[in-house]
Amino acid sequence: MPYPRRVGATLLVWLASAIGLPAQATLRGVVHDSLLTHRPLAGATVVVHGTDRTALTDRRGRFTIPDLPLGSHVVGFFHPTFDSLDLAAPGQRVELIAGRSTMVQLATPSIRGASLLLCRRPPEPSTLVLTGTVRAAAGDAPLERAVVEVRWFELALGGARARETMFVATDTTAADGRYRLCGVPTDIALTMVATMAGQTTGPVALAFDSVGVARRDLRVSLSDPAAATMLVDTIEARHPAGLGRLTVVVRDPSGASVGRAIVGLRGTDRADTTDVTGRVVIADVPSGTQTIAVRALGRQPQELVIDIVPGAATPVTITLDRFVTLLPAVAVVGQAPDARRAGIERRVRAGIGYVIAGEDARALAFSSVGWARIPGVTLSSGRVFSGPLIVQDDPVPMMRGFGGERCRADVWVDGIRFSNLSGWELRGMLVNARTVEVYSSASRVPVEFTTVSASPCGAVLIWS
């Protein structure tokens, strides 16, 4: 005759006690990400300190650890994302009681908590903590005493005019190559560089969501002559040939090749155009962390931060989407004239600009002669200031602002404004141009192409 279930359970407890087996308990819980995603954290490893028992959270952040010894324990967890941010999740003490399933709620530090842990101060609005490591471009050795800088510009109102002021956040890496920058703004354009022993990365543009902590690792080549810093008061020539080599493939989302796209490195004069297969090889580029920029008429511009190894080819594949402009529905009766052509003709009749068409427009990409014929336009030397450094670039057209000062022209391509185009990027836009309009001063720019900024300039309008 079988024993009743209750009697059987009682017998098992008595047997366990009789032979000296320790009583055990089960721990259940959920891990929540309160810093980045504000959701349950999947893939976290939960540990019970003092034991060898662990569990991995599921897609809902849940975990279960059975057969734990009774008593007081400290429970914690780790996750690759937060390990990379140099953040340790706080442990939580729990009391495990025989015959019970204990529940625990674990969470990452909050944005405030992360700022207090890393910077020892509460966070300011619209800022984050930026952390990471600086390593050598050849090999993986961390670089101690490398200087990391993040720069940005803010408008300050003073009297009747607004002026731009540059701000710099800087830190020096520790023995493990780590740096930490507190109070980095998240609502403005940023540029980042790292320097070590007279060598530097390329300029890296930063853009953040509204998070409390972010990471950016950098690599500096200690031997590449093209990665040497070039001081403002000593530069007289272009960068020497670098030790890196890029093999780039540009495609659209369907996988089709994108030809005649211009590919180049930010802060250098190294650029070239893809062939009909969408491929291009750019030799003699500086190694270390660099930014690739890709431009093609009719397609969304792309930028990608990569690490270029000296003495080796670095393969890169980039996808360019087409521009998609959503227009309101209109009812058309009869045949409407070409709105773009009508706009150009209207501006030509106004006599306030200079218009170049056909082969003469495309020739602007390859020769300075065409620019020299345009009244009020000069070409820059190609040297661009970047904080305390100068980087070399192709020349760009210089025009006049409202106060008569010389300034870099605003560039519009098929009605879309591009800010801070490099000289080689502008050249790539002009390769396929059909018509170019040039307005040599801010006062001559048509109202629909007027830039809303503290210091507007003349404009170049490129139509494909």
- Fold category of 20-109 in CATH: Immunoglobulin-like (2.60.40)
> Are 162 and 153 spatial neighbours (Cβ–Cβ below 8 Å)?
no
> Cα–Cα distance between 402 and 241 in angstroms, integer?
40
For 96, phi and psi rounded to 5 degrees? -95, 125
- Find the radius of gyration of the CA atoms of the chain: 30
> Cα–Cα distance between 446 and 463 in angstroms, integer?
15
Tell me if 112-222 shares its fold with 339-463: no
> Cα–Cα distance between 259 and 279 in angstroms, integer?
8
**Stated pTM of the model:** 0.65
Instruction: Please list the helix, strand and coil fractions of the chain in percent, rounded to the nearest 5, in that order.
Output: 15, 40, 45
Superfamily of domain 112-222: Immunoglobulins (2.60.40.10)
Q: Are strands 435-439 and 354-357 parallel, antiparallel or unpaired?
A: antiparallel
Mean pLDDT per block of 10 residues along the chain (464 residues) reads 46 45 81 85 92 92 92 90 75 87 88 84 86 91 94 66 75 94 86 91 81 88 84 44 92 90 83 91 92 83 90 91 59 55 77 83 78 82 50 71 80 78 76 85 82 73 85
The CATH number that domain 339-463 falls under is 2.170.130
> Which residue ranges make up each domain of the chain?
20-109, 112-222, 244-319, 339-463
Q: Which CATH architecture has domain 244-319?
A: Sandwich (2.60)
**Beta-ladder partners of 172:** 147
**Amino acid sitting at position 226:** A
Which residue has tokens 């890496």?
A: 173
**H helices then E strands: how many in the chain?**
7, 34
3-state secondary structure 349-392: HHCCCEEEECHHHHHCCCCCHHHHCCCCCEECCCEEEECCEEEE
Q: What is the DSSP letter of 420?
A: S
